[in-house]
Structure 1
Amino acid sequence: MIEMSALREKPTLTGERVRLVPLSEEHTDDFYASANDDEIRRLTGTHRVFGYEEVREWCAGRPGRPDRLDLAILSRPEGRFVGELALLDVDPENESAAYRIALSALEFTGQGIGKEATRLLLRYAFDEVGLHRVWLEVYSFNMRAIAVYRSCGFAVEGRLRDALLWEGRRHDALVMGVLEQDFRKAGG
């Protein structure tokens, strides 16, 4: 049974290198810079460039959303914004939800930050929300992210052919999912 109050509560989750805190208006400047970074836009397949006011309103609206969980990823112990993640498209009847994560700059890749943040959120999703399955989409060229997801128990479930057209080239998107028991087997 899904515990929807676990989405409304907006927890703070703490690991060794990261702290996940509710995304809010205070993160607007960092989120704006990240959302408009060319490499982040490529990795997420985001064609549009966002205006500052649009990002501010979006960040300000996150705490009030009872149907999803948006968290800022802060480095420990400095408290520096290093990205954001979300548990969204929650399907209570099927105990399933989508997941997305974006680190705010390439300087944060390869340090285990994304892996730790993903594991913290998945633990919360399975233990507190009561989900059975979490899924995501990742572009096939993003090998580093695919490796992180696999290490957290995700498996490729399908391929969306030519899902992204970026600078004249088409790229597939992989649909990956993790079941609670797979996450536990992967050390979660």
Structure 2
Amino acid sequence: MPRLIGDRILLREYRREDIHGIRQWCNDPEIVDNLSDIFLYPHTMNASEQYLNSILEGKTDQKGFVIALKDTEDYIGQIDLFRIDWKNRSCELGIVIGMKDYLGRGFGAEAIRLVQNFVFHRMNLNRIQLELHDFNERAYNCYVKCGFKEEGRFREKCFVNGRYVDAIYMSILRKEYVERV
């Protein structure tokens, strides 16, 4: 995939040295509680290396980018596309800003906008969808800011930190994206 260049960030290929950035957040409860249950148990160095190797060796259907600072190309997070459905022209989006110093500063929104343009104008997909926990207000507000619309909720679908929470489903269609830009 090509690099996608924004104002403050660039979306680039994964590199072996990104393991250090991944390891900074993959066992941090403040970060992973907002993500899927694949981080329910401690993520070992071996598991992190296997994950990164699967991407580097092209052994996964996941396609994605490292979110890096434009000036230094340092890893601050990642944004990935899952379950790409070429027949129905859709995909799922996952994003994490793993370096806490960069949370709440608009880097996620900038990465999402770059990926939206790529998905709709380069991949020729029609729909991007995602799922998040109802308590993740920062992510919810970011997705709304980027044009995603709430489609529904699965009530008390996820068990997080001793309580059941709703899973919110959101999406954006190509025509909605085009109207916004």
- TM range, smaller chain: over 0.9
Aligned to 1:60: 53
Work out the percentage of aligned pairs sharing the same amino acid. 28
Matches within 5 A, 1:145-184: 145-184=139-178
Aligned to 2:179: 185
Which stretch shifts more, 89-98 or 53-62? 53-62
Deviation (angstroms), 1:183: 1.4
Matches within 5 A, 1:79-98: 79-98=73-92
Aligned to 1:14: 5
2:104 to 110, 116, 119: 110
Q: What SS does structure 2 have at the residue aligned with 1:148?
A: helix
Unaligned runs of 5+ in 1: 1-9
Distance (Å, rounded) in 2 between the aligned partners of 1:106 and 1:172: 25
State whether residues 82 and 91 of structure 2, in contact with CA within 8 Å, keep that contact through their aligned partners in structure 1: yes
Distance (Å, rounded) in 2 between the aligned partners of 1:134 and 1:70: 14
Question: Number of residues paired by the alignment?
Answer: 178
Is 1:75 aligned with 2:69? yes
Deviation (angstroms), 1:134: 0.5
Q: What SS does structure 2 have at the residue aligned with 1:62?
A: helix
What TM-score, normalized by structure 1, do the two folds share?
A: 0.89
Distance (Å, rounded) in 2 between the aligned partners of 1:109 and 1:41: 13
Is 1:44 aligned with 2:29? no
Distance (Å, rounded) in 2 between the aligned partners of 1:174 and 1:52: 31
Task: Give the root-mean-square deviation of aligned CA atoms.
Answer: 1.4
Deviation (angstroms), 1:158: 1.2
Deviation (angstroms), 1:24: 3.3
State whether residues 152 and 169 of structure 2, in contact with CA within 8 Å, keep that contact through their aligned partners in structure 1: yes
2:19 to 12, 20, 28: 28
Q: What SS does structure 2 have at the residue aligned with 1:49?
A: coil
State whether residues 25 and 57 of structure 1, in contact with CA within 8 Å, keep that contact through their aligned partners in structure 2: no
Deviation (angstroms), 1:65: 4.4
AA in 1 matched with 2:15:
S
Distance (Å, rounded) in 2 between the aligned partners of 1:85 and 1:120: 10
Distance (Å, rounded) in 2 between the aligned partners of 1:173 and 1:102: 17
